[in-house]
Structure 1
Amino acid sequence: MKASKPTTRARRGAQGFQFTQADFEALADVALQHARQLGVADAAVEVSEGSGLSVSVRCGALENVERNRDKALGITVYLGQRRGHASTSDFSVEAIRATVQAAYDIARFTAEDPAAGLPEETDVANDYPDLELFHPWPIDAEQAAELALRCEAAAFAVSPLITNSEGASVSAQQSHFWAEHMRDGQRRRQGIFYGGYASSRHSLSVAPIAGKGDGMQRDHWYTSQRNPAELASPEAVGRYAAERALARLRPRKIATTECPVLFDAPLAAGLLGAYVQATSGGALYRRASFLLDSLGRQVFAPHIDIDEDPHIIGAKGSAPFDDEGVRTLARTVVSGGCVKGYFLSTYSARKLGLRTTGHAGGSHNLRLTSRLTQPNDDLPAMLRKLGRGLFVTELMGQGVNLVTGDYSRGAAGYWVEDGVIAYPVQEITIAGNLAEMLRGIVAVGADVYNLGSKYVGSVLIERMKVAGN
């Protein structure tokens, strides 16, 4: 497929960019040719460019307009099992050669590392699909400001109790890159990676404030997509953000207790993220994870499955290959609560005596599901399953210890009685241990929310400690 689409990718790369894919290929050629002249047999180079527009408004007035454009060339050289890396934002031939020389000099004086080196030839993505990740948004600052103003105005229109705003913003971002390897002085053959593509990410957000004085409450909402045509309307985002802020007015404190806890879907994605970190190669080979040697073990409740599909067309977590040029594949990560695979780069896999899973750079479109979930298990249904307990909609702090699994976060949300929200609560802390929390998942909602590369509904955990008064 690569041989059939270079013209398309080059043409796409020219939209809104200073450089084309052909330009990047020529720059990579300069770097690798110079590396070869220095006696380097194995090397990897990446050339990239990004550009974008960000506009923010506040209380009906334009607040900020930012344009960004950046570019970089990075090269890694291998002298046997010694590795050196250097990068530059100067694309002149002299600067590129100096950067290659710097990487070479670093490698000369670096200690040998048996795990260093290019990916295995059998793991390289020589053919890969076009996942349609590039959807440029031809929007100017005036148009972006209009969208942001509409979003904020919609929030204010919900109720006179929306008294202020931290602002609304629109962001349109796009980038493209070209990466290429050299192995034993050879390039562009089966088993030696070369490729690249363009991608985009656009968003609209708002943060309204409800109430006055000491009773003020803030909340926010946003929409983010690769294709601007798939963004939620400014009015829908503004209304929902306002409703979230209004629902938090007149919060109460609660007494310290132990109870079931329901994580709102966007927050449940954070639990999935913690699991990914704990089963990623870096944490595992450093022995800094509470899930060491968990392959084949049951770590979730037996009704939980996690699947990964990197090739969903246009999805935010899609990628035809990882940051090392290793092909990405659909797979089952967790089945019936049992761990079926880690998240490994080439380096971390070698450190563990395993094979790369194509995860240099992170996970791709993970979906956590429960075999117990029914199609009508929306948020009201999940609140009924909670019965009496805490519904968490905001978390604060970084209180997750991946070495021990200890979990302690500041939180806010709602106290639920008889399956119905009774009143908002704030100034509480929820605590537990991730190992127990993952095994203690009793339900997953059908209210699936996509946060970056993760898809998950609201998650109900059987019991956690809640510290209040």
Structure 2
Amino acid sequence: MQNQDIERLKNIVQSLLDEAKQQGATSAEAGLSQENGLSVTARLGEVETIEHHCDQGLGITVYFGQRKGSASTSDLSPDAIKETVGAACSIARYTSEDEFAGLPDKELLATEFPDLDLYHPWALTADEAIALTIECEAAAMAYHPDITNSEGATVNTHQGIRVMGNSLGFLQARLSTRHSLSCSVVAQRGDSMQRDYWYSVARKANDLEAAAAIGIKAGERTIKRLEARRLPTQQCPVLYCAEVASGLIGSLIGAISGGALYRKSTFLLDALDTQIFPDFIRIHEQPLIKGGLGSAAYDGDGIATQTRDIVSEGYLRGYVLSTYSARKLGLQSTGNAGGVHNLTVTTSNNDFQAMLKLLGTGLLVTELMGQGVNMINGNYSRGAAGFWVENGEIQYPVEEITIAGNLKDMFKNIVAIGNDVDYRGNTRTGSILIERMSIAGE
């Protein structure tokens, strides 16, 4: 994207803010986004879908004192801007006052905008995308003769720009890209049928795993799941593989987020500065990692992000707050409007094989199903699949079981965190070993 294009979009956002002031708003914030990309899926060697994406939209939020109104449109014309601002102003005039509504504190707004290396467009043609997906799926199908069907392989490219501005003088543009390649296949052996998948995601296309490697990994994972068994009901140690361990950390973030706190709907209410993990656990944000999938210099309110510990030495050191939720709690924003940024869990020196040895005899979880997490009391119950492990060695796949516990106990009973970190998302963690959980099976 050219500099003149960026400036043109900034000018549109500024015109929204100017129009809001002209229509009587005491303050306003606005955003504009433009996105485009390509998505191609091939199944059984044939093209299934080709989609070109091209979207744009802008939104405005106005404040008349403590009364708030919002409106949006996909039309960037001057007339549409005027009408959209007018709609937001009309809403604001009839809403109730909210003492916590309003723009962020000016002194917290970001003033430094380092190059985080987030923008790497991929000039991928439809033909090239088709070739990649067919290669990926073919590698999976060829992995083993028991692989008999496919859910397909998909490649996605995405690039976009988001411009944010407010009447405090903040006006910034953020460009980013995100590309991915995935494959899912089905295997059958006798009466046993299983599916599994693998994927790669990155800011730069060159950082994606090779298409054939993704397919082979998808095939390997699928074959390993064949002839899965159920387990007897019991209690045992549980090892979450890195791909699903991030969900445990996500439960922590949900429990210490502003909305849950001010609604008093979290099992970690008033837990600040108390020990909720073993003393070797550290969880911290690193928002300025170059090329990180969660990197950002500012949050959804325009407030500067910060490198900080959320948990250190097992103690909860900070909440996850936006401007609004912080005001509701009588606190200060932590720069987390829109979520956390490159949340990183400090690991041990144990690789995955070492984590299996630490597990000894117990359950390795590789897939979770359902949403059985009660954030009010911490009760946790999820459908699961994975592998039974004895003496540190995988014995056989398991399925149709439920694992259960309470998140408070699960957090405190973490034994180790592996160095097999999954970097494909906004939460960076290795596998997590929990001392004991309940398994409901046969």
Question: Structure 1-normalised TM-score?
Answer: 0.93
User: Does residue 279 in structure 1 map to residue 259 in structure 2?
Assistant: no
Aligned partner letter, 1:353: G
Equivalent residue, structure 2, for 1:91: 76
Matched ranges for 1:280-319 at <5 A: 280-319=257-296
- Once the two structures are superposed, what CA deviation does each residue of 1:212-240 show, in whole Å capped at 9, x if it has no partner? 56311110000000111100001111111
* Contact 1:401–1:407 (Cα < 8 Å) also in 2: yes
Q: Within 5 A, what are the aligned runs for 1:54-453?
A: 54-183=39-168, 192-212=169-189, 214-370=191-347, 373-374=348-349, 377-453=350-426
Counterpart position of 1:6: none
SS in 2 for 1:39: coil
The answer to whether the Cα contact below 8 Å between 2:189 and 2:227 also exists between their aligned partners in 1 is no
**Alpha-carbon distance, 1:451 to partner:** 3.6
Distance in 1, Cα, partners of 2:86 & 2:278: 53
Partners of 2:330 and 2:54 in 1: CA distance: 41
Contact 1:130–1:320 under 8 Å retained in 2: no
State the TM-score, normalizing by the size of structure 2: 0.98
Gaps of 5+ in 1: 1-9, 15-19, 184-191
How far, CA to CA, are the matches of 1:170 and 1:462 in structure 2?
39
Q: Alignment partner of 1:216: what SS?
A: strand
Shift of 1:286: 0.8
Report the Cα offset of residue 180 of structure 1: 1.0
Partners of 1:176 and 1:198 within 8 A in 2? yes
Equivalent pair of 1:163/1:212 in contact (CA under 8 Å): no
Residue 230 of structure 2 aligns to which amino acid in structure 1?
K
Deviation of 1:129 (Å): 1.0
Q: Judge conservation of contact 2:282–2:313 (CA < 8 Å) in 1.
A: yes
Q: Work out whether residues 396 and 409 of structure 1, in 8 Å CA contact, stay in contact via their aligned partners in 2.
A: yes
Aligned-partner Cα distance in 2 for 1:58–1:30? 47
CA deviation after TM superposition for structure 1 residue 11, in Å? 1.9
Q: CA deviation at 1:303?
A: 1.3
- RMSD, aligned CA: 1.2
Letter in 2 for 1:48: S
C-alpha distance in structure 1 between counterparts of 2:190 and 2:28, whole Å:
60
Paired amino acid for 1:225: A
Unaligned runs of 5+ in 2: none
Per-residue deviation, 1:463: 0.6
Query: By how many angstroms is 1:160 displaced?
Result: 1.1
Q: By how many angstroms is 1:162 displaced? A: 1.4
Please identify runs of 4+ aligned residues in structure 1 that moved more than 6 A: none
Match of 2:33 in 1: 48
Q: Distance in 1 between matches of 2:170 and 2:419?
A: 40
Distance 1:435 1:451 in 2: 27
Q: Tell me whether 1:35 sits opposite 2:29 in the alignment.
A: no
Give the counterpart letter for 2:397 in structure 1. Answer: P
The residue that corresponds to 1:5 in the other structure is none
Distance between the aligned counterparts of 1:69 and 1:101, measured in 2?
Answer: 27
One-letter amino acid of the structure 1 residue matched with residue 416 of structure 2: A
Distance 1:214 1:80 in 2: 67
3-state SS of paired residue (2:346): strand
What SS does structure 2 have at the residue aligned with 1:197?
A: strand
Contact 1:78 1:117 in 2 (8 A): yes
Any conservation in 2 of the 1:30–1:97 contact (CA below 8 Å)?
no
The answer to whether the Cα contact below 8 Å between 2:189 and 2:226 also exists between their aligned partners in 1 is: no
- The percentage of aligned residue pairs carrying the same residue is 50
Contact 2:10 2:171 in 1 (8 A): no
1:102-143 Cα offsets, whole Å, 9 max, x none, are 111111111111111111011001222121111100001110
- Alignment partner for residue 455 of structure 1, among 428, 431, 440? 428
Aligned mates of 2:157, 2:50 — CA distance in 1: 12
**1:11 maps to 2:36:** no
Residues 10, 172 of structure 2: 8 Å contact kept: no
